[in-house]
Amino acid sequence: MAWKTLDDMDLNGKIVLTRVDINVPMADGRVTDATRIARIKPTIDDIIAKGGTPVMLAHFGRPKGQYVAEMSLSHILPAVKETLGRDVTFIEKPSREELDALPAGTVILVENTRFTNMETDNDPKMAQFLASLGDVFCNDAFSAAHRAHASTEGVAHLLPSCAGRLMQAELSALEAALTTPKRPVVAVVGGAKVSTKLDLLGNLVRKVDYLVIGGGMANTFLAAQGIDVGKSLCEHDLAETARDILKKADEAGCEIILPVDARVAWEFAANAKNEIVDVTAVPSDAMILDAGPASVDRVAEVFKSAKTLIWNGPLGAFEIEPFDTATNAAAQQAAAMTKAGDLISVAGGGDTVAALNKAGAGADFTYISTAGGAFLEWMEGKTLPGVAALG
Ligand code: 3PG
Ligand code: MG
């Protein structure tokens, strides 16, 4: 690794600016999933153990440079205290004097960095201001590392910088899955649209041995091969692009696995009347909402031959039963193989993690990323500015 970790830094008596991603989902004023907060705990604990004072910088939502009351990090504060198991002091507008006056080991949370455009513009003045507040910069926000903002990128150039424990874990897991994987490697890519995952597919066909394509985007590939997908979600205008991806995969020796059968329905609703048909026999008035059992068997065979799995996107309309069947079966198999020590499995993306957890499989995966957009950009082979700035 080109970047330093907390092990390389002298933190004793130092103020450690710590970029975290606690952009967590909330409903009715309560945090509904504190995973992202729980995952920064090792970093905060280590900084304190090393005699440092962690000053957490974080964003919450997309306030577009304005103060937006609902996007104040004060709403998250109770969950942060509870999850970290520590008292946390919330500061709206920090100054160096104020931070210097705090007893060592105090944990600070600074108000939403995105309440000024200077953050998202990566304004050097903001980066300088942030740097003036601390002695060391620790980036533990892998899931925000695809943003070149003052608190994720700019400030890293101005202070001695290192990766936090979660950043380290994310990068190691992703490298093990795609950079230096045990082969064969299988990638599962699903979701609604090919158009949002073109770069991803283009990069993966060069890196993996098998690429399982599922969800709505599989329909685009089927249609591109002359199959009538009826009323299914399908980007017909991307037929040429889909054929190009199939060709590139072929040249690179990557086998693309598309559904051979499907569960079709006549309305998008839970427990809608449905049928299993061959993909060549989709009724013209029906839509594909999930992969069928023969497709699941094929995916199972591929999983069995693989040593590494990287997963982004569900195989069907997993939010509504029974169209979660293929996703559940594949997820449970990956989990069982991982548990048996036969597979390294890494997954990321909000929808994906929800789907794996719904299948009861998430806990047995080797690694579940906290990142959505950053996970995708990393899988696309892009350089993440927040990571690059640590180098
Ligand atoms: C996320 O939730 O994906 C990260 O916190 C990044 O948020 P953003 O997409 O608003 O930059
Ligand atoms: Mg996002």
Name all residues whose Cβ lies below 6 A of ligand 1: 21, 23, 62, 143-144, 147, 372-373
Mutate to test the pocket of ligand 1, among 19, 56, 147 (most ligand atoms within 8 A of CB): 147
Buried b / exposed e along 66-93 (16+ C-beta atoms within 10 A): eeeeebbbebbeebbbebbebebebbee
* 165 token code pair: 């424990």
Sign for the CA dihedral angle at 85, 91, 96, 102 comes to negative
Ligand 1: centre distance to CA 23 (Å)? 7
Bridge partners of residue 56, in order along the sequence? 18, 109
Q: Which ligand gives the minimal distance to the CA of 59? A: 1
Residues 128, 7: contact at Cβ < 8 Å?
Answer: no
Ligand 2: centre distance to CA 351 (Å)? 12
Q: Is 287 helix (H, G, I), strand (E, B) or coil?
A: strand
DSSP state of 315: S
DSSP states of 154-215 = GGGGTS-EEE-HHHHHHHHHHIIIIISPPSSEEEEE-SS-STTSHHHHHHHHHH-SEEEE-T
* Measured distance CA(322)–CA(337) in Å, rounded: 24
pLDDT in tens, the chain (391 residues): 589 999 999 999 999 999 999 999 999 999 999 999 999 999 999 999 999 999 999 999 999 999 999 999 999 999 999 999 999 999 999 999 999 999 988 999 999 999 999 999 999 999 999 999 999 999 999 999 999 999 999 999 999 999 999 999 999 999 999 999 999 999 999 998 889 998 999 999 999 999 999 999 999 999 999 999 999 999 999 999 999 999 999 999 999 999 999 999 999 999 999 999 999 999 999 999 999 999 999 999 999 999 999 999 999 999 999 999 999 999 999 999 999 999 999 999 988 999 999 999 999 999 999 999 999 999 999 999 999 999 8
Mutate to test the pocket of ligand 1, among 19, 22, 23, 151 (most ligand atoms within 8 A of CB): 23
Global pTM reads: 0.94
DSSP state of 260: S
Bridge partners of residue 354, in order along the sequence? none
Atom 9 of ligand 1 has which residue's CA nearest to it?
373
DSSP states of 77-126 = HHHHHHHHTS-EEEESS--HHHHHTSPTT-EEEE--GGGSHHHHTT-HHH
* Measured distance CA(375)–CA(149) in Å, rounded: 17
Atom 4 of ligand 1 has which residue's CA nearest to it?
144
Mutate to test the pocket of ligand 1, among 20, 59, 151 (most ligand atoms within 8 A of CB): 59
Catalytic residues: 36, 193, 350, 373
